[in-house]
Amino acid sequence: MDLALQLENVESGYGEVQVLWGISLEVSSGKMTTIIGANGAGKTTTLRTTMGSLRAWGGRVLLHGEDVTRLSPHAKANRGLVLVPEGRQLFPDMSVEENLEMGGYSKRARKRQKQNLERVYELFPRLKERGKQKSSTLSGGEQQMLALGRGLMQEPVVLMIDELSLGLAPVLAQQLFITLKTLREQGLTIVLVEQNVHLALAMSDYTYVLAEGRINIRGESDEVAKMDEVRRAYLGR
């Protein structure tokens, strides 16, 4: 099994408060892996620590077998590890196209910026239509498309996405998940933290369930969806 990303006994937190307690997970190349759990379980902290915006207190982060634990987020992005953060974090006074171009300035992606922009517009025609508009004028769904598109401009090897469907109408969330499925079919490795557990389990290949900073359940997504504990806690069944 070709592993794109591995976390080995990762611990992290904020100030003196520990949030992650020995997190270990494996992400297979070309697959969509989802992380679910209650609010405060440590999902976002896991992504931030993996990316390096939050320092790992212990353990290792491996990208295609290379120990990248202590590298800066910029250095990790240059190796193809990319995070689409919660809350989108767009540049509100920049146009749609300028926001996308900001995603394509890394050493890794600069040479193919034009081709990558065309790819994003192919995936999201609505962004092309609104290319000259300020990002602050877009709808919530369009802003999420833009955040995802900006991540793709970095030519990710592993694309991590924090709360893709947050604040979106169900039909828009489903459309974005279909886009992720297309990207996975094209060979992109995706790690997704997601509050819409129904969609996450239906669309992903493998699932980790976090509880109080520890991995509580792991398995193939279709099998996890059948577990009584998961059905009661997250699916309302």
User: What does the pLDDT look like over 171-226, one tens digit per residue?
Assistant: 888 999 999 999 999 999 999 999 889 999 999 999 999 999 999 999 999 999 99
Q: Is 67 helix (H, G, I), strand (E, B) or coil?
A: strand
pLDDT score for 88: 74
Residue by residue, DSSP assigns 154-219 as T--SEEEEE-TTTT--HHHHHHHHHHHHHHHHTT-EEEEE-S-HHHHHHH-SEEEEEETTEEEEEE
CB-CB contact of 193 with 35 (8 Å): yes
> What pTM was estimated for this model as a whole?
0.94
Would strands 158-162 and 189-193 be described as parallel, antiparallel, or unpaired? parallel
Domain ranges of the chain: 1-80+159-237, 83-155
Q: What angle do CA 213, 217, 223 make, to 5 degrees?
A: 150
- The closest of 192, 164, 213, 236 to 36, measured between CA atoms, is 192
Which residue numbers in the chain have pLDDT < 70?
Answer: 1, 236-237
Would strands 158-162 and 81-84 be described as parallel, antiparallel, or unpaired? parallel
Range 1-80+159-237 classified under CATH 3.40.50.300? yes
